[in-house]
């Protein structure tokens, strides 16, 4: 069946589900000093080999159960990891809940994080509770999040890569830090490259990590502008397939009636981690403006084409990029971090 036909037939199936996976991104320069507290070499695969040797099995028992019972947990948790690492580094700060009555909001309550799914948070809370029952006060929430994200990627058909561990949980979580560090659904390639350069990630890693949109969903509000008033022209985005445009307009009216509607970022295989996202871009089926822009810019298009042609190349590159992203801004030691017993509150 033609890719577009698969996309269109899947649209209605996914109405009123819920959304996940936002954009990763990448860059070329070194991370700023605030993010360089701990280098990649300070993390290790066997960090808990003596303190909690059963760690990965414990987390794995939760992720495998959640994947079977609540499959939306996969893209939800992967998205959590991206949103955690891009704000303050991979330190579990996204998991902190705002104190009742406090005017100072935590990261998870920032506007840009409002669409993060509870299933992602629940997966980490459950995994942390199980780990605490076996290895009390030894394993950070940030390491559990990194392991769980890898598990869900692999369960969905993606690569299995070794997760380096040794992160401590951060001591602050502030909503105002989120906006400058999270990509938008209409971000330009220039903006994406600049943002991801600030995290020490390359242009190729930007493209590869964007492939996480091979699973997950987006609310109408994140792309409705493309359907009716692209860049203020009062016309639809010309880079969107006309037949797809017609179907999307049926699901997402110009105003009202679509607040709960979500659609798959890769409708052909929305729960399978493959390179379908990239083949969709080649058919003008990128749901988000920023996704389709990757296929239009001469700096990123050749990489997207390569990933579309070679699934194994993409999976290998994605595992390597996730490993690198997982070292952004990690903390170690009591001066910079802590080992939380409850991922939702500071010690």
Catalytic residues: 83
Kind and range of the H or E run holding 301: helix 301-309
136 is in an annotated binding site: no
Backbone angles phi, psi at 253, to 5 degrees: -65, 160
Record the tokens describing residue 145, joined without a space.
Answer: 């999040």
- Do 77 and 126 touch, CB atoms closer than 8 A? no
Q: Rounded to whole angstroms, what are the CA distances from 98 to 94, 174, 177, 344? A: 11, 9, 14, 9
143 is in an annotated binding site: no
For the CA atoms of 255, 260, 266, 267, what is the dihedral angle to 10 degrees? -90
Cβ neighbours of residue 242 closer than 8 Å, sequence gap 6 or more: none
- Give the integer Cα–Cα distance in Å for 16 and 219: 9
97 is in an annotated binding site: no
Residue with tokens 């909503």: 175
213 is in an annotated binding site: yes
- The count of C-alpha atoms lying within 13 angstroms of the C-alpha of 238, restricted to the half-sphere facing its C-beta, is 3
Q: Using alpha carbons, select from 187, 176, 171 the residue that is nearest to residue 339.
A: 171
139 is in an annotated binding site: no
Helix (H, G, I), strand (E, B) or coil at 252: coil
Taking residue 241's Cβ as centre, other Cβ atoms within 10 Å add up to: 18
266 is in an annotated binding site: yes
- Give the integer Cα–Cα distance in Å for 285 and 246: 12
46 is in an annotated binding site: no
109 is in an annotated binding site: no
Taking residue 68's Cβ as centre, other Cβ atoms within 10 Å add up to: 10
Backbone angles phi, psi at 241, to 5 degrees: -55, 130
Q: Using alpha carbons, select from 80, 129, 136, 135 the residue that is nearest to residue 108.
A: 80
Residues flagged as binding site: 84, 87, 89, 91, 93, 107, 183, 213-214, 266, 269, 274
List the binding residues for Ca(2+). Answer: 84, 87, 89, 91, 93, 107, 214, 266, 269, 274
Binding residues for substrate: 183
């Amino acid at each position: 069946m033609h890719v577009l036909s698969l996309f269109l037939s899947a649209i209605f199936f996914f109405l009123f589900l819920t959304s996940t996976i936002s954009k990763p991104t990448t860059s070329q320069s070194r991370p700023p000093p605030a993010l360089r507290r701990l280098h990649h070499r300070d993390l290790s695969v066997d960090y808990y080999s003596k303190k909690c040797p059963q760690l990965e099995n414990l987390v794995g028992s939760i992720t495998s159960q959640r994947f079977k019972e609540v499959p939306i947990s996969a893209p939800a948790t992967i998205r959590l990891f991206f949103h955690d690492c891009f704000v303050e580094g991979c330190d579990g700060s996204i998991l902190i809940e705002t104190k009742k009555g406090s005017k100072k909001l935590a990261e998870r309550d920032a506007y840009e994080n409002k669409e993060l799914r509870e299933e992602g948070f629940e997966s980490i809370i459950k995994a942390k509770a199980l780990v605490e029952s076996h290895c009390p006060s030894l394993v950070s929430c940030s390491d559990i999040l990194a392991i769980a994200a890898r598990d869900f990627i692999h369960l969905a058909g993606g690569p299995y890569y070794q997760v380096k561990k040794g992160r401590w949980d951060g001591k602050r979580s502030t909503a105002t830090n989120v906006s400058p560090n999270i990509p938008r659904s209409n971000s330009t390639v220039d903006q994406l490259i600049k943002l991801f350069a600030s995290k020490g990630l390359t242009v190729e890693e930007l493209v590869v990590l964007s492939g996480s949109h091979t699973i997950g969903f987006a609310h109408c509000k994140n792309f409705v502008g493309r359907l009716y008033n692209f860049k203020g022209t009062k016309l639809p985005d010309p880079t969107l397939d006309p037949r797809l445009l017609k179907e999307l307009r049926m699901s997402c009216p110009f105003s009202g009636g679509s607040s709960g509607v979500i659609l798959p970022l890769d409708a052909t295989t929305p729960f399978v981690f493959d390179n379908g996202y990239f083949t969709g871009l080649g058919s003008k089926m990128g749901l988000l403006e920023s996704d389709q822009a990757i296929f239009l810019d001469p700096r990123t298009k050749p990489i997207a084409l390569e990933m579309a042609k070679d699934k194994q190349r993409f999976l290998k590159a994605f595992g390597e990029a996730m490993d690198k992203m997982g070292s952004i801004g990690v903390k170690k030691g009591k001066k910079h971090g802590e080992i939380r017993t409850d991922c939702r509150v500071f010690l």
